[in-house]
Each structure stands twice: as C-alpha cells, then as structure tokens.
Amino acid sequence: MDRHYSPFAAEEWDSVGLICGDPDAPVGRILFALDPTIDVIHEAMELQADMIITHHPLFLSGVHSVARDTLGGRVIHEALTHGIAIFNAHTNADQANPGVSDALADILGLTDCIPLVPGEEINQGIGRVGRLTIAMPLSEFAALVSRKLPATAAGTRVAGDPEALITTVAVCGGSGDSLMSVASTLADVYVTSDLKHHKVLDHPREVCALIDVPHFASEWPWVVKVAELVAQELGGTVDCVVSTIRTDPWTTQIASPA
C-alpha cells in the first residue's frame, strides 16, 4: 500500500497508515471498504478477515479516549478483540497515479487523463481531466454516470443544459468543490461530490456543467481497484474481498411531486 500510495504524499492535516493492529501479525484475508464503520468491522469478523483497508481514516481530530462507548472506540475494541488490523490510504491515494480520481475516470470511460491540479511529482495530482471517446449530450452523460456508479438513495444531480455537448470531462472523487474553477477552464462537465448551493449558483454552468454524486459513489470505484491491485501484487497469497456494506449515510430520497 505504501509503495502505491506514499504516506509522504498525504496532506498535513490527514491521517493515513495503520490505525490499529500488530505490524508483525500474519494476514491471510483483507476486506476493502470505503469507511471503517462498525458494520464493516462486523463484516470482517464474519469473513474472518485479518485486516481492513479503507480510504477514509477512523480519526481525523485529536483523540483522547478509545473507550468502548465512543463511536471510534467501539470500532477499535471490536477490531482488536477479533484480531483485525485497520489500515487506510486517504489523500495519498487521491494524489497517486493511479489513484481515487483515476478509478472514477476509468469507470466513466475517460481517456488521455491528466491531473486537474498537478502534484509535486510527475503524473501525480488531484482530480483528473480526460476525454470521452464519443461526445454526447449532458443528459446522456449524466445517465451514464448514474448507471456506472453504485446505486445510492440520493442519486445523481445535474446543473447545466441537458442538450450541451460533452467531450471533455473533469472528475474528482470525494469533496471536489475546491477544484470547480480549474475544472471550468478545462472541461465541459465536472463530476464530483458534496457541492454546495452558493458555489453551484456562482459557477459558470453554461461553460462547464456540474454533476454531483454522493461522496460514497464517487470514491467507491477506487475500493474495487485497490482490492484488485493488492491481490495482484500479492500473487494470490492473500484473499482480497470487497465489502458489500454501503457506507453512504443517506438512506432515502423523496422526489418532489411534479
């Protein structure tokens, strides 16, 4: 994991690497998930996995207690009691090539991808911009996004002219509002998550349409990719299983009456 997602590439505020577990313990089965929630720990217990690899960290701010009656503490207790290590790659996986946004770009069929914002090392950086092999109207592209990403309660939201022709696409897995302005100079549409009202209102949507998908959906393709990558690297000596738990916290959407 460190070879593909260097811990040195992580943001200063971030938390990556081994969250709990013994670095010397043998690992026979790894469960891959987006978030280290208690449901994912229970899934790992059922599967008798020795390790969970996630994208999101368990703790980001200072922690002074892992008592069992706290949310994070319960995860740590259950994991350690059942001999399960937890490891995560977060902003270092965003920066990497291939990384989180490459997985999203791949699943949407983009080619010739380059970083939206280049990183310090060549080929690295956050977000990706690439081309569709066949141009299509925004409405058709949004339907493709919705079809390719995992089903969620909230679904796919679109801001822009449904007839606008889409050739170049910018993507950023996770919360990508900070890349909206650079995306608008390079792409016909920007696909990301967690976009807010005022930012969308102020964005030049006639130049670069916006597609907002749930955070879980935009980063899920990476979970599948990293499981394949680790399985391949370990040459079949370790069982790599992708979680079936949807850690998207949103559960229901009521569409407004027509």
Q: Which stretches of the chain bind Zn ion, using CB under 5 A? A: 174, 219
Encoded tokens for 74: 């319960």
CA-nearest of 119, 225, 248 to 174 is: 248
Residue with tokens 């900070």: 178
SS3 content of the chain, % helix, strand, coil (to 5): 30, 25, 40
* Beta carbon of residue 56, minimum distance to Zn ion (angstroms, whole number): 6
Tell me whether residue 99 or residue 160 sits nearer to Zn ion (CB atom).
99
Query: For 162-208, where are the E strands, in sequence order?
Result: 165-175, 189-193
CA distance 155 to 145: 10
Tell me whether residue 177 or residue 219 sits nearer to Zn ion (CB atom).
219
* Beta carbon of residue 88, minimum distance to Zn ion (angstroms, whole number): 11
Encoded tokens for 178: 């900070």
Position with the least CB separation from Zn ion: 174
> Are 154 and 127 in contact, with CB atoms under 8 Å apart?
no
Tell me whether residue 106 or residue 219 sits nearer to Zn ion (CB atom).
219
Residue 231 pairs in a beta bridge with none
Amino acid (one-letter) located at 49: A
Tell me whether residue 54 or residue 124 sits nearer to Zn ion (CB atom).
54
Residue 137: what are its φ and ψ, rounded to 5°?
Answer: -65, 155
